[in-house]
Structure 1
Amino acid sequence: MTNGKRAGKPQGVVLLAGSCMPVLAATLITPVLPSMSEYFASTPGAAALVPLLIGIPALVVAILAPFAGSIVDRFNRRTILLIGLVLYALVGTMPLYLDSLYAIAASRLAVGVAEAAIITCCTTLLGDYFAGQRRNRYFGLQAVVTALAATVFFALGGALGATGWRTPFWVYAGSLIIFAFMIPLISQPVGDGRARSERVALPPIPWARIAGPCIVAVFGGIVFYAVIVQLSYVLTGIGVSATAIIGLASALASLATAAGAISFRRLARLQAKLLLPLGFVLAAVGLVVIWIAGSSFAAVLIGAIVASAGTGILLPTMLTWAVAGLSFDERGRGTGLWQSAFFLGQFLSPLAVIALTGIAGALQPALGLLGVFSLLVAAVIFVTLRNRSSTDFLR
């Protein structure tokens, strides 16, 4: 509810648009990283620092999201969201004029602060505005829209990057367009009807309810981003050098993620105790296919599509499982904790693959090993949740 009025499609659409901002930060500048590495070649530590420009915002979100959740539970969600969007534009465009790699890295830290506010508020407000199947629909759409946005941002970053590595950073100013639409459309939810001044203290965080979803979200984040980050390296490793082919393969994998997320609306009745294992099993199968594909481009692509379809199911399932049973006064902190766990998984994903590569000896076997772990996690989740009631999932 928005100030006593029923929320509708305009509110849902603008919140989904806001949810794309963290995806933009993770994908837009990926195509220009080689150009940045060349530009800053004389800067000490550039070889390690330039690739980390992608992961720095995710690490900041992982650290700050729980605090952002506490803030949005205690203060006005709308105000925090609007401030976050303005900050995102200001700090996101700083590399347009900064000429120090270290200063750019610092600006990426600030982007992470803005992201933590934006994604926590957008997801919390979706949970506030909608309930039951409508909430499931919008959480599913959130995964769909962000997956499709990733495909668009990859292509847009590459196209703009052809004119110089700084050019893609102009896109961060697009958050001001979303800001302009949110001003008339988004209002502070009514909540439970008590005046904010009457809320002396927030209820304690329901750790028993949120701990399991957060633990699963860390591993889910690692698996979710494994294909996104590693597919281009796998294709390069098997001899695919054409940028257009690699881009097409990445786009198809992103579309598979979107398709998996779209299916969530119809599959939600199966509940988290079945959907979580299903998502991890599909991801495991896809990763193992990539492992045994050898130098076959077609087999690698099939594996990436299957794994991405699984992660597309996982994302809205994990999120809905985490927030469906939380009250209004718990939802901001619960959402923040879940976002923190998922973004921590995003940051850890390349590090986990590096560690597994050290064990397995090569990238494709490392992804296969991650698939084996995914299968084990699916089995543990199924055994743990099979006898539990999941009525909160559709509340």
Structure 2
Amino acid sequence: MQRLLEKISILSLSLMLVSTFAVSPAIPAMISHFGHTGYQPQQVEFLITVTSFAIMASLFLNPLYMRVLTERQIISLGLILVAIGGGLPLLTQLYPVIFAGRILLGIGLGMINARAINIVSTHYVGKERLQMMGWRGSMEVLGSASLTALVGGLLAFGWHKVFAIYPLALIILVLYLLYVPQDSPSKVAEASLPKGNLSAEQWRQALGLAFIAFFVINVNSALTLKIPTIVQVSGLGTAQQASLILSAMMLMGILAGIAFGSLIGQLKDRLLGLSVLIFSTCILLTSLSTSLVLLSLSAVISGFFYSIILTVVFNKASEKTPKHLLNTVMTVVLVGCNLGGATSSLVPPILEKLNQHSSGAFGIYAILGILLGGVLLLKSKERRG
């Protein structure tokens, strides 16, 4: 029972990692509220997106955190900042205070981001670690879906009530403190660990994984923004049907997490290349679909392999990295993840100018993805040989 509670507590750290945009349904009501005090819609929307920039800044500060705090203190402080910073609108609806709170939220999420992934590698080995890595990815999806649904219910009580999702981080904190053993090295023990920077080979691997994460998140986020337009403008369906497709794409992440251990056991190094190939093909089919059934099927399959790719990336990042360098490698990969999401609305317009065909940006995305998948498969074949 203790072991099960430990696993639940460790996995719960991933529940709020992608909660930045969970409160997005409240944006129209927030625009109406702040419009009366002279704030423009773009300024209100920036309250949501500024958190992403704070997360990136916090990731870069990880080495500083590690010099002055233990892992347990970093995770605890991060969860407290998430609860306080995210929950500030419950106490006051002043724009500057909420803005500051969203920055605190981002700092807190950045502090626990890498550690929520690393802790799986430091506490588990072998098949158990692979299973936990898969479940960890599922918990991110479950957290995003459940928090977004909770926001929908809270919105009926006023826009500021939706921010009540963030103090839930305190429950996660209690679980973590009660059931996760203090296996992390103390400062004295850390002093005895080998010091040093990443080798050239480790940098290449970290940057390569960061690029793959950047690419698939950028493509998936761009497609998520585009699907409602494709469905409605092409006359394939309604806004409600588009919403159902997006929900199904998201929920496929749970299935991907369950299947991850089995898939990587069977396909090993080939899984990443094959997943990128299938993901890229589905992206092209989704953008060119002339029927709602084909669009739905290709989008849902892309959602499954999107989650598989990210889980493989995080698994590879932690698999062969020495523990004292794990936070550095994970920080590099997570910066790639955040850049992918932050530029998802900026890259497609540029690519559309390069490809005037109906496939637009997604045609170029698909070609790049197929090339990337082919290269990854060739490299896996070389390693097997």
Do both proteins adopt the same fold according to a TM-score greater than 0.5, normalized to the shorter chain?
Answer: yes
Aligned mate of 2:145, from 134, 151, 157? 151
* Equivalenced residues, count: 381
Q: How far apart are the structure 1 equivalents of 2:178 and 2:358? A: 49
Tell me the residue number matched to 1:167. Answer: 161
Q: Relative to structure 1, is the Cα distance of residues 206 and 95 closer, same or farther in structure 2, using a 3 angstrom cutoff?
A: farther
Q: How far apart are the structure 2 equivalents of 1:90 and 1:330? A: 30
Aligned mate of 1:336, from 311, 331, 345? 331
Tell me the residue number matched to 1:208. Answer: 201
Q: Relative to structure 1, is the Cα distance of residues 338 and 244 closer, same or farther in structure 2, using a 3 angstrom cutoff?
A: same
- Letter of the structure 2 residue corresponding to residue 33 of structure 1: I
| SS of corresponding position for 1:40 | helix
Please say if 1:262 is aligned against 2:258: yes
State the 1:84 CA deviation: 0.6
State the 1:90 CA deviation: 0.4
Q: How far apart are the structure 1 equivalents of 2:304 and 2:105? A: 29
- Letter of the structure 2 residue corresponding to residue 172 of structure 1: Y
- Letter of the structure 2 residue corresponding to residue 216 of structure 1: I
Per chain length, whose mean CA-contact separation is higher, i.e. which structure has more relative contact order (CA < 8 Å, sep 6+)?
A: 1
State the 1:373 CA deviation: 2.3
Q: Relative to structure 1, is the Cα distance of residues 49 and 16 closer, same or farther in structure 2, using a 3 angstrom cutoff?
A: farther
Q: Relative to structure 1, is the Cα distance of residues 388 and 106 closer, same or farther in structure 2, using a 3 angstrom cutoff?
A: farther
Q: Relative to structure 1, is the Cα distance of residues 224 and 130 closer, same or farther in structure 2, using a 3 angstrom cutoff?
A: farther
Tell me the residue number matched to 1:39. Answer: 33
- Letter of the structure 2 residue corresponding to residue 293 of structure 1: S
State the 1:121 CA deviation: 1.8
- After TM superposition, the score normalised by the length of structure 2 is 0.87
Q: Deviations over 1:223-272 (max 9, x none)?
A: 34334444334334345785543432222111222222322111113566
Q: How far apart are the structure 2 equivalents of 1:189 and 1:363? A: 54
Q: How far apart are the structure 1 equivalents of 2:14 and 2:154? A: 22
Q: Is the CA contact (8 Å cut-off) linking 1:64 and 1:340 kept in structure 2?
A: no
Aligned mate of 2:9, from 10, 14, 35? 14
Tell me the residue number matched to 1:289. Answer: 285
Q: How far apart are the structure 1 equivalents of 2:123 and 2:181? A: 10
Q: Is the CA contact (8 Å cut-off) linking 1:228 and 1:250 kept in structure 2?
A: yes
Q: How far apart are the structure 2 equivalents of 1:219 and 1:263? A: 23
Aligned mate of 2:100, from 106, 119, 129? 106
Q: How far apart are the structure 1 equivalents of 2:223 and 2:112? A: 25
Q: Sequence identity of aligned pairs in percent? A: 19
State the 1:201 CA deviation: 6.7
Aligned mate of 1:189, from 183, 186, 199? 183
Q: How far apart are the structure 2 equivalents of 1:237 and 1:320? A: 39
Aligned mate of 1:253, from 249, 254, 259? 249
Q: How far apart are the structure 2 equivalents of 1:154 and 1:170? A: 12
- Letter of the structure 1 residue corresponding to residue 198 of structure 2: I
Tell me the residue number matched to 2:271. Answer: 275
Tell me the residue number matched to 2:383. Answer: 388
State the 1:116 CA deviation: 0.7
Deviates further, 87-96 or 195-204? 195-204
State the 1:92 CA deviation: 0.2
Q: Is the CA contact (8 Å cut-off) linking 2:5 and 2:179 kept in structure 1?
A: yes
Tell me the residue number matched to 1:77. Answer: 71
Cα RMSD of the aligned pairs, angstroms, is 3.0
Deviates further, 94-103 or 341-350? 94-103
Tell me the residue number matched to 1:393. Answer: none
Tell me the residue number matched to 1:304. Answer: 299
State the 1:292 CA deviation: 1.2
Aligned mate of 1:61, from 39, 55, 79? 55
Tell me the residue number matched to 2:110. Answer: 116
Tell me the residue number matched to 1:3. Answer: none
Q: Is the CA contact (8 Å cut-off) linking 1:91 and 1:111 kept in structure 2?
A: yes
- Letter of the structure 1 residue corresponding to residue 168 of structure 2: G
Q: Relative to structure 1, is the Cα distance of residues 57 and 195 closer, same or farther in structure 2, using a 3 angstrom cutoff?
A: same
Q: Is the CA contact (8 Å cut-off) linking 1:289 and 1:368 kept in structure 2?
A: no
Q: Is the CA contact (8 Å cut-off) linking 1:58 and 1:347 kept in structure 2?
A: yes
Q: How far apart are the structure 2 equivalents of 1:163 and 1:57? A: 24
